[in-house]
Amino acid sequence: GSQLGSQLGSPATVMSRQQVQTSTPTRKSRQDPRVLNRICELGAAGYTVGEIDAALSREMFKTSTGTPWPRRNDGRVVVRALLRAGIKARDGGDAKIASYVSEYTAKILVERSTEAKHLQLELVEHEHENEMVHSPLARYCSSP
């Protein structure tokens, strides 16, 4: 509680702006980049999802709809932002948040696996095109 509030601004827990920007998700988000930076900053410093929500509320951040950040939240926005940035989302013993962390981690793994397969296919197609062009028979196969 009060210890968290005093730690939030201490140099030991605040990352440099450059570090935060490099860990910010690149994916399109409806959230204000300042909110995402703060979420990543606090997550990287080891705060739980609930503590991050409370800090965003206390620091008077706004939600994507412009309303004040609620002190108690379901944590989904924080979890998604942390996981997209590759930062561990700490559930703090909250079963609902733990469940969402598992669900969203699985979703990200499926997306990344699908992206990797597409990249692999593009690479194979590109290599095949290069083989055709550089093949000694290519000059006989190409139309004038």
Name the β-bridge partners of 90. 48
Where in the chain are the domains? 2-114
Is residue 39 a contact partner of residue 65, using CB atoms and an 8 Å limit?
no
Alpha-helical runs (H) found in 32-87: 33-44, 49-58, 76-84
Supply the pLDDT for residue 133.
Answer: 56
Read off the pTM. 0.63
Per-residue pLDDT at 99 exceeds 90 = yes
Give the pLDDT confidence of 35-90 residue by residue, as tens digits.
Answer: 999 999 999 999 999 999 999 999 999 999 999 999 888 899 999 999 999 999 99
What would the mean pLDDT of 83-101 be, rounded to a whole number?
A: 95
Give one word for 33, left, alpha or beta, with left for phi > 0 and alpha for psi -120 to 50: alpha
Does an H or E element contain 141, and which? Answer: helix 138-141
Supply the pLDDT for residue 142.
Answer: 53
pLDDT band at residue 13 using 50, 70 and 90 as cut-offs: very low
Supply the pLDDT for residue 36.
Answer: 95
The rounded radius of gyration (Å) of the Cα atoms in the chain is 22
Return the C-alpha torsion angle 115, 120, 126, 132, nearest 10: -150
Give the pLDDT confidence of 121-142 residue by residue, as tens digits.
Answer: 888 777 766 665 555 555 555 5
Give one word for 92, left, alpha or beta, with left for phi > 0 and alpha for psi -120 to 50: left
